Structure 1
Amino acid sequence: MSEPNRSLEKSLANLQRTIEERTAKEGKPTEAEKPAHKTADIIQLPLWPEVTRGTPNSFLRGALFAAIQGKEREYFKGKILATRDGIKIRFTGMQLDQSDLDVWEQAAELARSHPLGNVCHFTIHGFLKALGRQTGKSQHEWLKDVLRRLMSSGVEITHGRYTYGGSLLEFIHDETAETYALRLNPTILGMYKAGWTAVDWDIRQKLRRKPLALWLHGYLSGDVENYDTKIETLHRLSGSKTKELWKFKQNLKNALADIEMATDGQIKATIEEDMVSFERLRTSTQTRHITKKSRKKALPK
């Protein structure tokens, strides 16, 4: 063997010995030191367009986030909430409203770029800006209250074959840095597998402080077919506190007018006696979905 080759071989042997000694000295990583997620175990939310907020249909098709004012909240203990067929929600905690849904949707927006179960960091100021809200002290306190309400809520949601049980989110607050670490339970993914909707965020911003219009927009966004619906059914599913149906009907007319304006006529509705008929301009994706469903129904059994 030539002199240069012997020198190279000796250098490689020394390098290998150094690596082995360092590995033996430092030891293998403990279970606690190993990465929390193997590549195969990474669970992430679906990717939706940034101008929307991905929301489970079970959140939109019933009274989990009710069409109420904050002052109308009640405390529920294991209450079965009104929902569409195929969904069952049992709820414990302070009643949630549409502003709480705004916060949850923004939390999901932050979480979608992280594996579920991992934390994502944010500041109260930045979160409020993303919601299109003011950033003063009162708004800081408002957001903290909403986060506490979502954290302390206990839900058991069954949608089809999927069931989720737990709180709606978890967080850690660093008082000094004024930052939050947010976490969504990985099993919330089941609610997305059961069906979810990309809700137009700009339209929700236009409808802010109009609880019934916000609820109706979410309800209609989560269903691509134009079903005629009884006013009484919408009253029940929305969780409205308006006791008289005639008064709710008037509120409904106003809410639908707000939606038509906010959507530039993309969603229209007609109320005749006790029924509401909806007319919506569908996207090409929605049209394909309905056509596919119709063909399946038409196939001979």
Structure 2
Amino acid sequence: MAFDDLRGIVPAPVLGRRPTGAGGESERHSVDALVARVAELQKKHRERLAREKLPGAPLLRDVVQLPHWPDFVRGVPNGFLRSALFGAIAKGRRRHMSGERVTTLDGLTIIYTGERLDQGDLDVLESLLHTVRLQALGVACSVTSYALLKLMGKTDTGKNRRVLHTCITRLKANAIEIKQDKWSYIGGLIDKAYKDSDTLGWVIVLNPELHTLFAADQFTLIDWNVRRALTGKSLAQWLHGFYASHAKPYPMRMETLLTLAGSEDESPSSGRQTLRKALDALTAASEAHGQPFSYDIRGDLVHVDKKPSDSQRRHLAKKADGLRKRHL
């Protein structure tokens, strides 16, 4: 309920009351009383609306939204980050997949139909999710090419607009079946996409059921500054997302990481060299933006040490507490 909506509901003396005395204590109590009164009136207002929903009357609309994350991060479902769905693939002609199972970590299942997706496509999808998070899913969201390119840190040129158009088209022309933990989703990554004939801006609609992939502990907030610093380094971007989705990464074989990233390098030695360079780039970009990240390769295993986010630290603490209780 907006503040103006309270006029006529909140008694005028409450809204206009001035603190008495020279001290701030009376003022604080007045503010506390107003906050409590407003909360009470809002509750009564909701209860009245619920009581007055008569048979045949339109029901209040259930609004489905994505979580509201801050501007310096991007929210991404873990399934997108722990698989080869948005692969670190070479530029050029892309293979079309038809109902193929995508390489994923254990516990994930992704079946995909459409042209192969890469990290550039993920940049566009992240920007669309970032924009749409401010409103209800399933509702048309109008956004200009300029705004999307600016969100991605790109200049507004004809070439970049054409690339953006191609990515949005590719994200629309696909079908995905994904199951992560107990949550699943079947549909397209973009439900509808078209150009406004008057403004020539984009109108985007995302399926409301996408919210199932953003359940608690099922998505990761990606540091956008680090990802942007890795633009053009697709494997480093993939590694950044993959390790960001883990509170405490466990050692993984180099070959496994390359396969999960969707690498198309058929030479084992070349693949390992590319992986080392990507890890070096990720280390440098993370350090430059205050996100400590380091790695060590022992034999064929990649060991990573990183600073977990606040939510990941809470997850680790909760997990440790659960283990402790089970052993009591």
Matched, 1:43 2:64: yes
Query: What's the offset of the Cα at 1:72?
Result: 5.4
Q: Could you say which residue in structure 2 is the equivalent of 1:280?
A: 306
Tell me whether 1:182 sits opposite 2:232 in the alignment.
no
Distance (whole Å) between structure 2 residues aligned to residue 219 and residue 284 of structure 1? 17
Q: Is the 8 A contact 1:70 1:97 kept in 2?
A: no
Find the counterpart in structure 1 of residue 126 from structure 2. 105
Write out aligned runs for 1:114-129 (5 A).
114-129=135-150
Aligned twin of 2:324:
298
For 1:176 and 1:245, how far apart are their aligned partners in 2?
52
- Pick the aligned partner of 2:224 from 190, 197, 201: 201
**Aligned counterpart in structure 2 of residue 85 of structure 1, from 82, 106, 112:** 106
How far did 1:134 drift?
2.0
> Is this contact kept in 1: 2:107–2:181, CA < 8 A?
yes
Task: After superposition, give the CA deviation of every residue in 1:62-116 in whole Å (9 maximum; x if it has no partner).
Answer: 0110011331521100010000111100000000000100000000011101111
Residue identity in the other structure for 2:114:
G
Instruction: After superposition, give the CA deviation of every residue in 1:14-34 in whole Å (9 maximum; x if it has no partner).
Output: xxxxxxxxxxxxxxxxx9xx9
After superposition, residues 130-169 of structure 1 pair within 5 angstroms as 130-169=151-190
Q: Which moved more, 1:89-98 or 1:223-232?
A: 223-232
Structure 2 counterpart of 1:266: 292
Q: Which amino acid aligns with 2:219?
A: W
Which residue identity lines up with residue 200 of structure 1 in the other structure?
D
* 1:203-223 deviations in Å (ceiling 9; x for gaps): 111000100000000001111
Partner of 1:220: 243
- Match for residue 78 of structure 2? 57
Aligned residues: 267
* Alignment partners' CA distance in 2, 1:295 and 1:132: 41
* Alignment partners' CA distance in 2, 1:164 and 1:70: 29
User: Match of 1:6?
Assistant: none
The letter of the residue matching 1:261 is A
Are the counterparts in 1 of residues 248 and 308 from structure 2 also a CA contact under 8 Å?
Answer: no
**1:188: Cα distance to partner?**
0.5
Which of residues 255, 280, 284 is equivalent to 1:257? 280
TM-score normalized by the length of structure 2? 0.78
- Contact map agreement 1:64 1:81 (CA 8 A) in 2: yes
The residue aligned with 2:234 is 211
**Amino acid across the alignment from 2:244:** S
1:270 partner SS: strand
Q: Structure 1 residue 262: deviation in Å?
A: 0.4
Take 2:70 and 2:208, find their aligned partners in 1: how far apart are those partners?
Answer: 21
| Residues 117, 186 of structure 1: 8 Å contact kept | yes
Output the CA distance in 1 between the equivalents of 2:200 and 2:314. 47
Cα distance in 2 for residues equivalent to 1:49 and 1:149 = 27
Higher relative contact order, structure no. (Cα contacts within 8 Å, ≥ 6 residues apart): 1
Residue aligning to 2:115: 94
CA offsets 1:159-196 (integer angstroms, 9 cap, x no match): 12211111101212124421111111000011111600
Q: Any conservation in 1 of the 2:236–2:279 contact (CA below 8 Å)?
A: yes
Tell me the C-alpha RMSD between the 2 structures.
1.8
1:72, 1:241 within 8 Å by CA — same for their partners in 2?
no
